[in-house]
Amino acid sequence: MEKPLIMVSSVTYAMKGKQILNNYGIRSEIERTPKRDTKNGCGYSLYVPKNTDEAEKILKENNIKVTGRSERSMTK
């Protein structure tokens, strides 16, 4: 099973994004981006277990710079 990650451009955007999603009732956690994907961002992502597509749309609408999507194995 894979964990969906929304990659953002900075740790600041990750913190702001987490708060925005919380305001919409969407749970998220800040995580390090897998090393294979850090070329597209700062190395931080938001793990959004449910409604990931909706969460990405909300982040973009609230001017959070999303740099891509990734997945991490749940068996970390």
pLDDT score for 25: 97
pLDDT (0 to 100) of residue 34: 78
pLDDT one-digit tens code per residue, 41-51:
568 999 999 99
* Bridge partner list, 6: 46, 69
Look up the pTM and report it.
0.84
Q: Where are the chain's structural domains?
A: 2-71
Q: What is the pLDDT of residues 7-25, one digit of tens each?
A: 998 999 999 999 999 999 9
CATH class of 2-71: alpha beta
